[in-house]
């Protein structure tokens, strides 16, 4: 039941029209019948009241008709047609209002529900009943049908049949455009000639809108637009049109080209591409319609010259306003000649899109497609051609793609966190009996840990339900269920073909700064929070033992080694006994060798004073204890613990009811630990003795009687097993005793870490996990892309397993307000990537997604490659050598908030981060020069140049210049020269990131590929155009992926907000205001 208050109604004229439309359906009986049928309709709502007369009314919804009646049994008194309208629902928890807005200009209709659930239900019902909403659904279904048909046609390799023919199912068959796998289906360039202007004195500023008409559906969909070319009637457009492989386009598909004249470019907006297909831009938008034309794809593909010259006509088809040339672009074809043959009205027009070159073997190949398709999806491509300084053409394909790793990596990581936390909770429970003080502490810690574990499990369950886009848009960065997902993670790739240079790929991974947006930045980010927490732990008066972060990390490492090595030692011991039972000397030697290696690693894992100190501390926590020696550790660095003097555990009175704790021998651990080594030595000695006797026996028996030797083998086999079995059992028992004590002692250390900081410790762990998850998803994506592009570069592969991979992050965050907290989160998250190692394995199935193993202090990412690609790797990588990562972060704030931070705030955070990461970069460079031969890498031949870049970077960081973007350019150049992976990050990976990436791309074209200096700005404008390839909905923002409105941006109100939070700015504002007032009244 829904109660509504209606303050405004449709105009009387519309009401009369509505009633007439209802009346045409039939007589009064038919009308009553329709009302009776409404009782079974899903969206029926009752009890509606009008504000004017305060009388209750009944409201019923049928399709796109909203009926209003005076009571439940009466006939409808008014009807509202839900056409060309949209629903506005207020998002606050208390507001239950709905507003119906009409495009026709009719007054808004305000409705109010009785409860929030009713309000939401009515909002959905009214939105779906809207005729435009139904049309959108129909269009989406038709598009889905076309995609299904496309898949069928590609799988079955359908032959061409006329569009008039139909298959046995009654559905039309369409001709697929056969293209190279994973390459665009169709690409073409555009150029206009002899465009007619309304006035002779004015020059045209034109662009072309491209729309697609689906065959047999008669649906026209806006697809893309070119850039605006100014001041000529013969525009040559730099931006081409490309249809990706999965796009449902056929030879029967028609493409409509519409040319617009932009009267004032400054007033033009990107929203041209999202206008309704049946509408032309209004006159007040600053543009006007010139002409349009339509062609079939088959006409372009089958033309001999692969070029069409079409006539542009006005909307009524009468007047000719010029011509437009459509040139087909084919992969692998090169255009000869120079650019001088192109003549236009201005020098800026010496540019056009031409045929793209085929990628070299080192850049792409069919073998790469399965594994890359498992990682990348929904590519968006743009094509360009720019002139070089020697009047040649360079060809550029720009591609942006999403990655499935945005969700895959966080889900794998959360699953590992759950397993690790469950194992830790069990280890805490296995500590055994503790004194009441420590037992209560353990119970509190386990309770808090169980709450966090439940939260991780809920998050993983919610992510498992996600079925939408493969990336998280910026408007979702504050959602709790998506807080582990990176923001706007994309691959930005530029493929350049120059006439005299080798083809080149330039990849940049763009992603929002890894940060815990849902938790907020009121108290700063991880860098500040961790420092503050550690200081509070050190000075806490809580009744627990303080262990430094290094000792805590060591305890986690010991536990990890135990869990890893104990099963391996047991397995090798069983193999040793199996070899003994089979009397196989070679197998016995190999098994003994593996057992010895793993046992030595096991013994050395406990060769640390921390274990001894933790065992002593654990003993003092038992219900009763008497020490032969003082239990106080010497100091925190030497012994690994510092017992608090207040309520010290050693001061707990002995409880005589537990006699087995009456004494504690500190040297007992040394004996237990040494017994493992002694047991191993006994096994080794026995194996050597058996092999020696076997050699002597076989020699003597073989000389006398071969058959007797065989008999001896049968009898001695049982002797070997019987003699080794008790020694192996003793080794396992000694190892089990060590494991039990070591596990309990290290679990006790972790108990102290958690108890000293509840609940802040767990919240910081959660925040760090969130930030690390976002950073790791980007790193895995970058590594896989870099590995695929460098498979044929032996120098890079050698660098990968000899030195490691450099990963350079370019941060564009300011050091003011919330972004300072984001930068602190980002710095810690990127630093934590140092504990990540990569391993390349051969894929055993069609699933090429990476596999993540490990724990919080150490992760191994297993990247799967198909067999043909795996064979290209060096032997070291194929044998499973772990590959190290060297992440570095350089940040330079560039927005208006950074201006305030530099003038009135503090930039120390940015300076410290840049200085720290410069040292890391120098460390990598030193390893690079020591381990890599000078002629191994193509970029490394200029060693002095690379060294000079590092020195220049050092000087710029020390200069502390405001907004010194030279730091970013130098760091990016050094990264590319050392075969690193590039990342660019800002708050949401939108505006600042896109500006930085496009500037970097054009700078590369200028410096590395001889882009003509007069075309730098125009090339930059083309790449920065927000027009994208693909159909756009009317309310979609291609940059943010969320709904947009016409609200003014926050920067219009920015200065006033700043004045309220800064006393210095407030004083300046008051002085300036006073001066302005005096000047005004004088």
Task: Transcribe 64-100 into DSSP letters.
Answer: TEEEEESSSSSPEEEEEE--SEEEEE--SSS--EEEE
Residue 1069: the pLDDT is 61
The rounded radius of gyration (Å) of the Cα atoms in the chain is 37
pLDDT higher than threshold 60 for residue 336: no
Q: Quote the pLDDT of residue 807.
A: 97
Confidence of residue 656 (pLDDT cuts 50, 70, 90): very low
On the question of pLDDT at 359 being above 70, the answer is no
What's the pLDDT band for 938 if we cut at 50, 70, 90?
low
pLDDT confidence of residue 426: 92
| Residue 76's pLDDT band (cuts 50, 70, 90) | confident
Closest listed residue to residue 817, CA positions, set 904, 881, 940, 702: 904
Most confident listed range (258-262, 327-331, 542-546, 886-890): 886-890
Query: To which H or E segment does residue 862 belong?
Result: strand 858-865
SS3 328: strand
CA distance 233 to 204: 6
Instruction: Give the tens place of pLDDT for each residue, 1059-1069.
Output: 444 555 556 66
Read off the pLDDT of each residue in 955-963 and give the average, rounded to a whole number.
89
**What count of other Cβ atoms lies within 10 Å of the Cβ of residue 256?**
18
What was the pLDDT predicted at 663? 55
pLDDT the model gives residue 94: 65
Q: What is the pLDDT of residue 1001?
A: 93
- Quote the Cα angle for 466-471-474, to 5°: 110
Cα–Cα dist 687/693, whole Å: 10
Q: Which strand (E) or helix (H) includes residue 890?
A: strand 883-891
Determine the pLDDT at residue 169.
Answer: 38
Q: Is 1022 a catalytic residue?
A: no
Mapped onto helix, strand or coil, the DSSP state of residue 390 is coil
Task: For residue 57, give the nearest of 122, 125, 126, 1 by alpha carbon.
Answer: 1
Task: Give the pair of three-digit tokens for residue 158.
Answer: 């359908």
pLDDT in tens, 697-708: 666 655 555 444
pLDDT tens-digit profile of 435-461? 888 889 899 999 999 999 999 999 999
State what percent of residues in the chain have pLDDT above 90: 28
What is the band of 509 on the pLDDT scale with cuts at 50, 70, 90? very high
Say how far apart CA 992 and CA 982 lie, in whole Å.
Answer: 16
Lowest mean pLDDT among 239-243, 810-814, 1039-1043: 1039-1043
For range 409-423, the mean pLDDT:
95
- pLDDT at site 107: 76
**Range from 240-249, 337-346, 726-735 carrying the lowest mean pLDDT:** 337-346
Q: Give the pLDDT band (50/70/90) at residue 27.
A: very low
Tell me: the pLDDT tens digits for 619-636?
Answer: 888 886 544 443 444 433
**Nearest to residue 308, comparing CAs of 319, 292, 295?**
295
Higher pLDDT, 696 or 149: 696
When comparing pLDDT for 275 and 407, which is higher? Answer: 407
In the predicted structure, residue 106 carries a pLDDT above the cut 60: yes
Residue 711 has pLDDT above 60, yes or no: no
Neighbours of 916 (CB within 10 A): 13
Range with top average pLDDT, 72-76, 429-433, 818-822: 818-822
Percentage of the chain surpassing pLDDT 70? 71
How confident is the model at residue 304, as a pLDDT?
Answer: 85
Q: How far is CA 558 from the centre of its chain?
A: 32
How far is Cα 510 from Cα 1039, in angstroms, rounded to an integer?
13
Of 743, 807, 804, give the one whose Cα is nearest residue 775.
807
Q: Which two tokens stand for residue 769?
A: 């996990």
Q: What length is written for the chain?
A: 1082
pLDDT at 1046: 34
**Lowest-confidence range among 715-724, 971-980, 1026-1035?**
1026-1035
**Cβ neighbours of 149 (radius 10 Å):** 18
User: DSSP letter string over 147-193?
Assistant: HHHHHHHHHHTPPP--TT-B-TTS-B---B----TTS-SEEEEEEEE
pLDDT digits (tens, 9 = 90+) for 199-237: 777 788 899 999 998 776 677 888 888 888 888 888 988
Q: What is the pLDDT, as a whole number, of residue 74?
A: 74
- Taking 3-state DSSP, the helix, strand and coil percentages for the chain, each rounded to the nearest 5, stand at 50, 20, 35
pLDDT of 31 > 60? The answer is no
pLDDT the model gives residue 944: 62
pLDDT tops 90 at residue 982 = yes
Region 824-833: mean pLDDT is 96
pTM: 0.71
CB 814 within 8 A of CB 909: no
pLDDT of residue 870: 93
Query: How far is the CA of 793 from the CAs of 363, 842, 873, in angstroms?
Result: 10, 19, 10
Q: Across all residues in the chain, what is the average pLDDT?
A: 75
Instruction: State residue 370's pLDDT score.
Output: 66
Which pLDDT score, from 0 to 100, does residue 314 have? 86
The SS3 call for residue 822 is helix
Return the top range by mean pLDDT from 59-68, 588-597, 827-836: 827-836
CA dist 751 and 442 (Å) reads 7
Q: How far is residue 503's CA from residue 367's CA, in Å, rounded to a whole number?
A: 19
**pLDDT exceeds 60 at position 613:** yes
Among the options 625, 734, 985, 986, which is catalytic? Answer: 986
pLDDT digits (tens, 9 = 90+) for 109-129: 777 777 777 777 777 777 777
Q: What is the pLDDT of residue 981?
A: 96
- Does 24 have pLDDT greater than 80? no
Lowest mean pLDDT among 151-155, 173-177, 528-532, 822-826: 151-155
Q: Could you give the CA distance from residue 134 to residue 307 in angstroms, rounded to a whole number?
A: 39
| pLDDT tens, residue by residue, 291-333 | 999 999 989 988 888 899 999 988 777 788 999 999 887 754 5
Q: Token pair of 995, please?
A: 């500006």
| pLDDT for position 349 | 41
């Amino acid at each position: 039941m829904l109660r509504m208050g209606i303050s405004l109604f449709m105009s009387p004229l519309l009401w009369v029209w509505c009633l007439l439309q209802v009346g045409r359906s039939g007589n009064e009986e038919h009308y009553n019948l329709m009302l009776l049928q409404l009782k079974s309709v899903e969206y029926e709502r009752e009890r509606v009241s009008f504000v004017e007369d305060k009388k209750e009314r009944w409201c019923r919804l049928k399709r796109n008709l909203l009926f209003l009646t005076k009571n439940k049994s009466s006939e409808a008194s008014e009807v509202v047609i839900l056409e060309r309208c949209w629903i506005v629902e207020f998002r606050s928890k208390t507001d239950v209002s709905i507003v119906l807005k009409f495009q026709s200009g009719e007054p808004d209709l305000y409705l109010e529900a009785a409860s929030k659930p009713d309000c939401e239900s009515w909002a959905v019902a009214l939105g779906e009943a809207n005729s435009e909403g139904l049309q959108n659904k129909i269009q989406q279904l038709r598009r889905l049908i076309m995609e299904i048909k496309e898949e069928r046609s590609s799988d079955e390799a359908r032959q061409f049949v006329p569009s008039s023919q139909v298959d046995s199912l009654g559905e039309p068959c369409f001709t697929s455009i056969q293209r190279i796998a994973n390459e665009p289906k169709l690409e073409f360039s555009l150029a206009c000639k002899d465009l007619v202007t309304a006035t002779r004195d004015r020059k045209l500023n034109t662009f072309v809108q491209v729309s697609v008409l689906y065959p047999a559906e008669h649906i026209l969909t806006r697809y893309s637009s070119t850039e605006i070319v100014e001041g000529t009637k013969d525009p040559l457009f730099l931006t081409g049109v490309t249809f990706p492989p999965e796009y449902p386009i056929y030879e029967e598909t028609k493409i409509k080209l519409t040319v617009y004249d932009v009267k004032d470019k400054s007033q033009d907006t990107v929203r041209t591409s999202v206008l309704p297909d049946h509408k032309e831009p209004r006159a007040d938008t600053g543009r006007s319609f010139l002409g349009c034309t339509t062609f079939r794809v088959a006409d372009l593909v089958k033309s001999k010259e692969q070029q069409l010259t079409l006539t542009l006509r006005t909307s009524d088809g009468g007047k000719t306003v010029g011509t437009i040339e459509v040139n087909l672009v084919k992969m692998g074809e090169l255009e000869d000649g120079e650019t001088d043959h192109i003549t236009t009205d201005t020098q800026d027009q010496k540019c056009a899109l031409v045929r793209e070159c085929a990628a070299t073997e080192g850049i792409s190949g069919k073998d790469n497609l399965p594994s890359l398709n498992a990682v990348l999806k929904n590519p968006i491509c743009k094509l360009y051609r720019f002139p070089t300084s020697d009047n040649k053409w360079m060809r550029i394909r720009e591609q942006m793609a999403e990655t499935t790793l945005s969700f895959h990596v966080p889900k794998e990581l959360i699953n590992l966190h759950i397993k690790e936390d469950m194992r830790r909770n069990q280890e805490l429970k296995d500590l055994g009996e503790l004194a009441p003080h420590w037992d209560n502490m353990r119970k509190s810690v386990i309770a808090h840990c169980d709450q966090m574990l439940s939260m991780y499990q809920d998050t993983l369950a919610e992510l498992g339900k996600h079925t939408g886009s493969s990336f998280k848009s910026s408007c979702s960065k504050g959602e709790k269920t998506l807080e582990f997902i990176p923001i706007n993670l994309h691959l930005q790739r530029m493929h350049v073909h120059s006439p005299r240079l080798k083809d080149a790929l330039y990849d940049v991974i763009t992603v929002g700064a890894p940060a815990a947006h849902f938790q907020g930045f009121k108290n700063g980010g991880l860098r500040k929070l961790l420092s503050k927490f550690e200081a509070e732990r050190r000075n806490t008066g809580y009744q627990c033992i303080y262990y430094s972060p290094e000792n805590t990390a060591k305890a986690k490492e010991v536990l990890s080694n135990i869990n890893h090595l104990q099963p391996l030692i047991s397995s090798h011991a069983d193999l040793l006994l199996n070899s003994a039972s089979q009397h196989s000397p070679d197998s016995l030697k190999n098994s003994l060798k593996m057992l010895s290696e793993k046992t030595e690693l096991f013994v050395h894992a406990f060769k640390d004073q921390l274990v001894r100190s933790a065992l002593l501390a654990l003993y003092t926590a038992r219900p009763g204890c008497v020490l032969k020696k003082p239990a106080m550790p010497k100091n925190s660095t030497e012994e690994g613990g510092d017992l608090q003097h207040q309520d010290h555990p050693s001061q707990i009175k002995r409880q005589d009811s537990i006699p087995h704790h009456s004494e504690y021998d500190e040297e007992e651990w040394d004996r237990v630990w040494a017994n493992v080594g002694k047991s191993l030595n006994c096994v080794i000695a026995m194996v050597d003795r058996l092999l020696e006797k076997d050699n002597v026996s076989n020699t003597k028996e073989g000389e006398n009687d071969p058959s007797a030797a065989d008999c001896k083998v049968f009898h001695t086999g049982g002797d070997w097993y019987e003699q080794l079995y008790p020694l192996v059992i003793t080794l396992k028992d000694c190892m089990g005793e060590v494991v039990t004590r070591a596990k309990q002692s290290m679990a006790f250390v972790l108990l102290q870490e958690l108890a000293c900081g509840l609940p802040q410790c767990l919240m910081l762990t959660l925040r760090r996990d969130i930030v690390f998850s976002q950073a790791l998803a980007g790193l895995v994506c970058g590594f896989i892309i870099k590995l695929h592009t460098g498979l044929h570069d032996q120098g890079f592969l050698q660098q990968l397993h000899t030195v490691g991979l450099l990963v350079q992050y370019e941060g564009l965050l300011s050091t003011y307000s919330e972004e300072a907290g984001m930068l602190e989160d980002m710095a810690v998250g990127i630093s934590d990537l140092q504990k990540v190692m990569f391993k390349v394995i051969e894929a055993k199935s069609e699933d090429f997604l990476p596999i993540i193993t490990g724990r919080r202090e150490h992760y191994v990412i297993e990247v799967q490659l198909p067999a043909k690609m795996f064979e290209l790797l060096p032997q070291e990588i194929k044998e499973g050598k772990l590959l190290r990562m060297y992440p570095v972060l350089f940040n330079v704030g560039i927005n208006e908030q950074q201006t305030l931070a530099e003038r009135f705030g503090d930039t120390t955070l940015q300076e410290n981060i840049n200085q720290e990461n410069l040292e890391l970069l120098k460390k990598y460079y030193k390893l690079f020069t020591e381990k890599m031969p000078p002629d191994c890498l193509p970029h490394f031949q200029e060693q002095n140049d690379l060294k000079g870049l590092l020195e220049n970077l050092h000087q710029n960081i020390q200069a502390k210049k405001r907004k010194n973007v030279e730091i970013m350019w130098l760091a990016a150049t050094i990264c590319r020269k050392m075969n690193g992976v590039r990342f660019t990050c800002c708050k949401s990976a939108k505006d600042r990131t896109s500006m930085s990436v496009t500037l970097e791309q054009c700078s590369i074209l200028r410096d590395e590929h001889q882009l003509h200096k007069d075309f730098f700005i125009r090339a930059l404008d083309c790449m920065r155009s927000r027009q994208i390839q693909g159909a756009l909905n009317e309310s979609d923002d291609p940059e943010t992926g969320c709904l947009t409105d016409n609200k003014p941006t926050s920067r219009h109100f920015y200065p006033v907000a700043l004045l309220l939070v800064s006393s210095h700015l407030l004083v300046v504002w008051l002085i300036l205001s006073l001066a302005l007032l005096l000047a005004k009244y004088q």
